[in-house]
Amino acid sequence: MSYFADLPAAQFEGPDSRNPLAYRYYQPDRLVLGKPMVEHLRPSVCYWHSFCWPGSDVFGGGTFNRPWLGLPDTLESARLKADEAFTFFQKTGMPYFAFHDVDAVSLGTSLREGWSNLDAIADYFAEKMSQTGLKLLWGTANLFSHPRYQAGGATNPDPNVFAYAAGQVRAMLDVTHRLGGGNYVLWGGREGYDTLLNTDMRQELDQLGRFLNLVVEHKHKIGFKGTILIEPKPCEPTKHQYDFDSATVHAFLANYGLLGEVKLNIEVNHATLAGHSFEHEIAYALGHNLLGSVDLNRGDPQNGWDTDQFPADLQETTLVLYRLLQAGGLETGGFNFDAKVRRQSIDAVDMLHGHVGGLDLLARALLNAEQMVLDGQLAAFVADRYSGWNSTFGADILSGKLSLSAIADAATTGPAPQPVSGRQEMLENLVQRFV
C-alpha cells in the first residue's frame, strides 16, 4: 500500500471552504484573461526535496521515516520511489514534475553504468507519465553532490571532471528530450570559488562559457525544442557562484554568445540571498527577454541561508504575477515548487499541506494580478510618469539623434524642470486593494 494511500486528492472547494487540504482558489480550467489558470501557472512538484531529502541538516540526521529512503541503490528501489512519487503528484492535482538524474536513480560508479540506469528509469517514468497524464516541466543533472565535483563541474581545474560532467548532462538532456520535457535547467552549485588564492577566474568562466555552448549545440543536434535555463544563485555552497543573479548571468550570456539560446530559471530564495527581491529578479529577466521559468519558495530572513520553504507572501507573489501577465506570461516554463516541508513536519500529510497551500497562494495571486491588470491604474501611472520620453525630444535622445552638446543646449531653453512626486504611498495603498 502506498505511503500516501490515506491522503485525499486535493480538490477545489471554493473560498469559503475550511478544509485545509482543499483548494480555495486553484481551478485549473478557470479562465484568467482568456487563458486557463493551469496554463498560466503550469505548476510542478520537485522530485528532490519531496522524495530524496531525508530531513537532515548540518547538525543532525534525517527525521523522515519514508519507506523509499534507505533502500539499496537498485533499479527496483528507484521504481518503488517513482511509484510513490507519481501517487503523490496525482494527490496534489499538479500536472508537472521536475527532477535531477540522481534523484531518480543511482548513477553507479561509472558513466556507462549511470547512462544505463538513467535510461532504465526514464523508460519507467515514461510508463508512469502515460498512465497518469503527468508531464515533465524540466530535467537537470546534479553536478554538485558527488566528491568529484568538489571544485565544480564545468569550471573544474581538471578537464577530465569537465568531461564527466558533460557525460552526465548529455545523458540527462537526452532523457529530458525523450520524456517531452519543456525545459532543461543548469544550476551551478559548485561553479564558483571558495577562495581566489587557488582560482583562475577567467579560465573558469571560459570553461563555463564553452560548456554552455556545447549544451546548446547538443540541444539543436537532437532536436530538443525546449528552453535551456540557468538558475542564478549568489553563493552557497560556494563562497561565490558565477551565476550570481539575473544581471550577472545576462552579462555572461552576452559575453559567450548565448543570448537568445539560454534563459533564466528564477528562484525566490536565491533572489533574496543576492540582496534582491523576487520581483526585482523577475522584472530584470522580463525586461531583457530572459525569463524562462520560476522556482517558487521562500527563505527565512532570520536564518540567512537557502531554507526552501513553501511560499507564503501573497503581496510579493501578486506583484510578480502582475508583471508576468503584463508581459504575456511564461512560454515553456512554469512554477516549480522547489520547496520542502520542515524537518519537524514528519507525516505524509505535511507534504500535501505544503503543496496545496503553495499552489492555492499562487492561484490567489494570479486572480489578484488579473484584477490589477483590468483596473489599469498602476500601469497608467507608470506610463504617465515616463510619458516625456514619448515626446520628440525624448525619442531623439534615446535614438542617438542628439549629441551631448545638443541635449545640453536644449536644457537652457524654457524653465528649469521641477521635481514630480513618485506617489509611492498612494501606489502601495492601491496594491493593498487587490491583495
40, 100, 218, 250: which is the annotated catalytic residue?
Answer: 100
Angstrom distances, CA of residue 32 to CA of 92, 325, 349, 370: 21, 10, 30, 7
Query: Which neighbouring-strand residues pair with 417?
Result: none
Angle at 52 between CA 303 and CA 271, to 5 degrees: 35
Looking only at the bridges linking them, the beta strands covering 183-186 and 135-140 are parallel
Residue 338 among the catalytic residues: no
> Which of 163, 198, 7, 2 is closest to 93 using CA atoms?
7
40, 49, 101, 103: which is the annotated catalytic residue?
Answer: 103
DSSP 8-state secondary structure symbol assigned to residue 309: B
Residue 100 among the catalytic residues: yes
Cis preceding linkage at 311, omega within 30? no
> Which of 357, 363, 334, 359 is closest to 345 using CA atoms?
357
DSSP string, 54-73: -S-BTTB------TTTT--S
In this structure, the number of other CB atoms found within 10 A of the CB of residue 425 comes to 9
Dist. CA 171–CA 119, nearest whole Å? 8
Torsion sign across C-alpha atoms 247, 251, 253, 257: positive
Angstrom distances, CA of residue 353 to CA of 25, 278, 341: 15, 23, 9
Active site residues: 100, 103
